[in-house]
Amino acid sequence: MGSNLIIGIVIAIIVVAAGLYGVGFYMRKKNQEKLDQLEKRKESLFDLPIIEEIDEIKKMHLVGQSQNTFRDWNQKWADISTRSFSELEGQIFEVENLNETFRFFKAQAAVSEAEATMNIMEQEVKRIRDGLKELRESEERNSLQVQKALDVYEELKQKLRENGEGFGPAYPEIQKQIKSIENEFTQFVTLNTSGDPVEARKVLADAEKHTYEVEDLMNRVPVVFEELDKTFPSQLKEIEDSYKKMINDHYVFPEENFQADIQRVARRVENSLEDLAKVEVEAVEVANRTTAEEIDGLYDVLEREIEARRYVMKNAKVLTEYIEHATRNNRQLLIELDHTSQSYALNHNELGRVRGFQTEIEEIARRNENIAPELDKNEIPYSELQHFYKDAFKILDDVEGQQVEIDDALRELRKGEKIAQDKIDTFEFKLRNLKRFVEKQRLPGLPGEYLEFFFMATDRIEELSKALNKIRVDMEEVNKLVAICEEDLELLDQRTHDLVDAAALTEQMMQYANRYRHSHPEVKASIDRTLELFTNEYRYQDALDEIGTALERVEPGAFKRIEDFYFNHRDLV
């Protein structure tokens, strides 16, 4: 029993010892693996080409704020490469000692602390490299901008040297400004090498600004100088030569100071050249636009008179013939009106209008006759004549249109009278047919209001006949009466057929109702009342309503059936 207990205790001790050894071995291995990783990260950080990047930027000879920024990043790298790397080395050495002396838990904490230091160092190194990269790229961009400005400056010098004549009076001032830019670039180099980066940067910014300003001037000046030196003078000479030639050709201008206007524009060109010498390009551009507009206006005056002369030469004879044509038409129309007014009433002041036309035609003829001597003596501008001709043609066109309208209306009077006369015959024929149609029905009598309407329609036709037989026929009155007669006869025709249909249907209904006469006292009474309305009072529609209502009471649907049969077989009934 005792031996077994001892054996068990020994085995337990061995197991525990083995377990402790295994745990210690595992922790030592893990700590060593982390140490190996830290060593690799440290070597990778040391292998980064930061020193080369710093040396590269040093060669760029930074100035101003860029130089200050570079110093900050360089100092940060110096701090990391000395103090931080030294601190990391100490932490790694401590982990190795703790791991070797089996103080695994302390070693594990020390590893974590070393990893934290490494993380901070890697982040800082990344920030330093990113900052150096941005600084390098920024300086490269600045260098490119400076170089670009220098290239532009060289191009401007060459352009001015090769094409100086294209800048006209602005040449000396532009040359002066280019020389000033050259001095600014020289001053920049001097200040930059002498260690005054702030002032050097300011001078460089001014040089770049002035370079692009001069470039803009040198692009704009040749354009405006071309206009002032060649385009405008050439146009003004052409205008002046054309004006003198037209005066020799006996043109007359309504503008009293046309020659003075040419001189005024020429003075504006001279003033613009003076402004160009002072390189006031914007003012010259505005003035040139105004000058171009005024020159266009001068051209317009010449072209207006040339075009007007063509128009007058082409239309002078046409206008005279048109006046004669309008006069003949008006005279003939007055004769026609006089003749027509003896037979027809003229209700639209036709005679007054035609006399007004004559006044307008005579006024145009008078003005045309008065202008002729002025035209022969070259005392009137062609544009004024053109304006008169166009107004005259417009008036004569309007007069002729109204002449035609009145003449057509006179013709319509005779045509309308013939149509109205034919319609009287049609109306009388229709009245006779309606009368015969009613008589054929052998009705006991006709309602008073029907007879009244019949006689009214007859009287209206008679009234139309009298209107047509007047010495001076008023066709407006006749046409109104024709329309009324047509409406009356249409309504009379409807009333006639309604009356005949009501009478015929009443007879049909009474015949059918007789079968209920003895079996239904109310039907008998209705038949008697219907006979009274039909035979003595001639109220055929009322008679139909009376018998139809009674029949519907005893035999629903009978009324509709008889009515449908009647209208479907009206010729047989």
User: DSSP for 480-544?
Assistant: HHHHHHHHHHHHHHHHHHHHHHHHHHHHHHHHHHGGGTTT-HHHHHHHHHHHIIIIIS--HHHHH
pLDDT at 22: 43
Q: Where are the domains of the chain?
A: 12-156, 250-410, 442-568
d(Cα 407, Cα 396) in Å, to the nearest integer?
A: 16
d(Cα 99, Cα 174) in Å, to the nearest integer?
A: 81
User: Which residues are within 8 A (CB) of 463 and not within 5 positions of it... i.e. 6 or more apart?
Assistant: 481
Determine the Cα angle at 196 with ends 194 and 199, to 5°.
Answer: 130
pLDDT tens digits for range 144-195: 556 666 766 677 667 667 676 778 898 888 888 878 877 877 777 776 666 5
Are 508 and 566 in contact by the 8 Å Cβ rule? The answer is yes
User: Which residues are within 8 A (CB) of 491 and not within 5 positions of it... i.e. 6 or more apart?
Assistant: 453
Q: Is 472 exposed, middle or buried (0-12, 13-18, 19+ CB in 10 A)?
A: exposed
pLDDT tens, N- to C-terminus, the chain (573 residues): 556 666 666 665 655 444 444 444 445 555 566 666 766 776 666 666 766 667 666 666 555 566 667 667 767 766 666 665 656 565 565 555 555 554 444 555 666 666 677 777 677 777 777 776 776 665 555 555 566 667 666 776 676 676 767 788 988 888 888 788 778 777 777 766 665 555 667 777 887 888 888 788 878 888 998 999 899 999 999 999 999 999 898 888 888 888 999 999 999 999 999 998 888 889 999 999 999 999 999 999 999 999 999 999 999 899 999 999 999 999 999 999 888 888 888 888 888 999 999 999 999 999 999 988 887 788 889 999 999 999 999 999 999 999 999 899 888 888 888 888 888 889 889 999 999 989 888 989 999 899 999 999 998 989 888 888 888 888 888 889 999 999 999 999 999 999 999 999 999 999 999 998 888 999 899 999 999 999 998 899 999 999 999 999 999 998 899 888 888 877 655
pLDDT at 203: 75
pLDDT at 84: 57
